[in-house]
């Protein structure tokens, strides 16, 4: 796959499905906003703006897919986000749907596209 296609597709996935990507990241370990931002920038080479990150985290918390807890670290306070059981269920539904559509893609003739 040409690198420019790969970069464009990854960027679309991250920006259009930021909520899913955040849940995927947090299913492995609790993280705080700055660490999430840096992970996205390092792993996906995408500049993630605070104006996209924090409203999405807040929305996920309102849906009860995440919880947050204030922690003190080196004299500074930070909000650490953790995925909830409901968030894991949502992510599981996402994976199930992706698998269904991926399986369909293998046998669906290209002529129909």
Domains of the chain: 3-103 (1.10.10.10)
Predicted confidence (pLDDT) per residue in 51-79, tens digit: 999 999 999 999 999 999 999 888 889 99
> Model pTM?
0.80
Cβ–Cβ under 8 Å, residues 90 and 22: no
The mean pLDDT value for 78-87 works out to 97
Question: Is the predicted pLDDT of residue 8 greater than 90, yes or no?
Answer: no
Facing residues of 77 across strands?
Answer: 72
Measured CA distances, 65 to 59, 90, 110 (Å): 9, 8, 37
Measured CA distances, 57 to 54, 65, 104 (Å): 5, 9, 32
Assign 10 a pLDDT band (cuts: 50, 70, 90). Answer: confident
Least confident segment among 20-34, 46-60, 93-107: 93-107
């Amino acid at each position: 796959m040409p690198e420019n296609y790969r970069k464009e597709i990854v960027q679309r996935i991250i920006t259009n499905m930021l909520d899913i990507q955040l849940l995927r990241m947090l299913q492995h370990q609790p993280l705080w906003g700055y660490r999430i931002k840096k992970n996205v920038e390092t792993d996906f080479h995408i500049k993630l703006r605070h104006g996209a990150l924090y409203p999405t985290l807040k929305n996920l918390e309102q849906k009860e897919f995440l919880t947050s807890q204030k922690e003190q670290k080196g004299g500074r306070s930070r909000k650490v986000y953790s995925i909830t059981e409901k968030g894991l269920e949502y992510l599981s539904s996402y994976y199930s749907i992706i698998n269904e559509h991926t399986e369909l893609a293998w046998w669906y003739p290209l002529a129909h596209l």
